[in-house]
Chain A
Amino acid sequence: MSATRIDTAGMPARRSAAPALILLAALVAALLIAPVWIYPVFMMKLLCFALFAAAFNLLLGYTGLLSFGHAAFFGGAAYVTAHAMKVWQVTPEVAILAGIATAVVLGLVIGAIAIRRQGIYFAMITLALSQMFYFFCLQAPFTNGEDGIQGFSRGRLFGLIDLNDTMNLYYFIAAVTVLGLLAIWRIVHSPFGQILKAIRENEPRTISLGYSVQRYKLAAFVMSAALAGLAGSLKALLFQFATLTDVAWNMSGEVILMTLLGGIGTMAGPVVGAAILVGLQNFFATSGFPVTIVLGATFMICVLLFRRGVVGELAHWLESRKP
């Protein structure tokens, strides 16, 4: 059996867990000391988007479904978390759970409709349904329309830890993000994840093996939506506002770009992609050069020249150097 032909999808089961553990330890160590050099708010924004992109990649990279509507889950959860903090005055963890619950419900509804078609249609349907949710948010009274929900206190986590302290908030968001990434890693490397990959590789064959593909797709969709919702809730907590930007289609486009840029179907890809894109946005936000042009051009270059993404190309290069 030639080792080069098999990509990550083929044989994850018996591979040693040691490299993954080393990678995890390095990630945790980096997150612990990063605030010494890097502005914590920037790091937290990056972590929120890294989790968002990783959640999106669970669907695109491991199930082969391109959702063009993930902003609905991200922004919907952000709205509910902000509303829960401001109006219901609950503690942050309850507000985040409310956000995730919203994303799950949205994911069930949108997913159940969208999985009736495949490929390009799936992308267009998710886009249209998320746009419908956008119009709902534009008109619903609790979102405050164009103003959004803003100006609430971050409160105390479990009633104990004050999240208005930046470092407390940083370590909370870092911990939740790592847990979220671990959950994704666990899903992908479980028997359930194997079936998702089978669907990605050959759907008719998976059906013929006796799996009810629609149920697996919906389950993957809802899990991805829930994790995207978690990212949205964290983002609302971090910036203390939720606006229409979070639910707009541009946000769905951005998360696709992060995943594409980092590497579709790789574990580290979305994190790297999010880091590059958030960095680019920060850089160009102050330069006066429009960010949209940069995003558009990056998209085109990525699709034309390196479809494997940064991490994917790197892995491919390392693989090709092996004797």
Chain B
Amino acid sequence: MTMIFGVPLPALMGQLLVGLINGSFYALLSLGLAVIFGLLRVINFAHGAFYMLGAFAAWMLLAYAGIGYWGALMLAPLIVGVAGMAIERLMLRRLYGLDHLYGLLFTFGLALLLEGTFRHFFGTSGQPYAAPEALRGATNLGFMVLPNYRGWVVAASLVICLGTWAVIEKTSIGAYLRAATENATLVQAFGVNVPVLLTVTYGFGCALAGIAGVLAAPVFQVSPLMGSNLIIVVFAVVVIGGMGSILGAIVTGYMLGIVEGLCKVFYPEAANIVVFVIMAIVLLLRPAGLFGKDS
């Protein structure tokens, strides 16, 4: 058997894949956080809760309406996005003029509320959600066996991340968004409806978390607590990447997922904390983050 640094190749590749899967979710979630923060200057603590909501929406669509995975992949992010827009419109909007910390505290309360509600009705044990028929089974790549669904998660998240990046960097809607990030008042003076732009952006960021939730549903169990543990790691990812760039958020997400996977092979005791250790080191060497602009 091929060995690399004393570790069998399939084991190494297996953990790399797990890392890449986790990295896909880190990237999708930190991308959404970066998009929302860029325009609204709100750190969306409820992002993990929206991710959980996406997974639960997929599960409920199947359990109560008989709508399968592919339908849920379209509908669940829509549901989560609309819920996000409603919250922005009705409540979050009132906090824009204040210290940014209030946005963080408000969304923290929202996360507790959503999580508590789902815990009350569904318990903490988690519901199983099967992968779609077309993506079951596995493919032998020669050096490792790749479960089809996991390959799909990585591919889908890459497409979504790069698609989002392209929309923001290359289209006229993206140009409005970037302009409003720089100077909202001026953009409004040019006739762009900035309040609507804010609402849509928040909804879009939440929908990204919803998509991540649907993708995650067959990999992990659909549980009310699935988001809260993830979101803190994603915060660390965001601090490491720096919030300045969309591409930075994506790259850092994948990178840290892979580092975490490698850590599981070589030093498993530290796998839970490696992201936080990296965060501390980055802060000591480059406080603005790897891709952040110095402020």
Contacts and interface: CB of A to CB of B under 8 A. Distances in A.
A292 B238 contact: no
A296 B112 contact: yes
A120 B113 contact: no
Given A131-B232, A298-B109, A117 B94 contact: no
Interface residues of A, number: 39
B94 A128 contact: no
Interface string B264-277: 00000100110111
Chain A, interface SS category: helix
Contacts of A120: 43, 100-101, 104
A228 to B, nearest CB: 19
Contacts, number: 118
Contacts of A300: 91, 106, 109-110, 113
A125 B279 contact: yes
Interface in B43-74: 43
B239 A253 contact: no
Interface residues of B, number: 41
Interface stretch (A81-89, A132-140, A145-153): A132-140
Contacts of B284: 113, 116
Interface in A265-290: 290
Contact of B113 (A117, A128, A249, A296): A296
Contacts of B109: 257, 295-300, 302-303
A116 B115 contact: no
A260 interface: yes
B243 to A, nearest CB: 8
Contacts of B98: 307
A131 B120 contact: no
Contact of A128 (B104, B106, B116, B232): B232
Contact of A249 (B100, B101, B120, B232): B232
Interface in B243-295: 269, 272-273, 275-277, 279-280, 283-284, 287
30 contacts: A66-B101, A116-B283, A116-B287, A117-B283, A119-B101, A124-B238, A127-B232, A128-B232, A128-B239, A129-B279, A131-B236, A132-B273, A135-B276, A249-B228, A253-B112, A291-B116, A292-B113, A292-B115, A296-B113, A296-B114, A296-B115, A298-B109, A299-B108, A299-B109, A299-B110, A299-B113, A300-B91, A300-B106, A303-B109, A304-B106
Interface of A: 66, 113, 116-117, 119-121, 123-125, 127-129, 131-132, 135-136, 138-139, 249, 253, 256-257, 260, 290-300, 302-304, 307
Given A121-B239, A294-B116, 7 more contacts: A66-B104, A113-B283, A119-B101, A120-B104, A132-B273, A291-B116, A295-B116
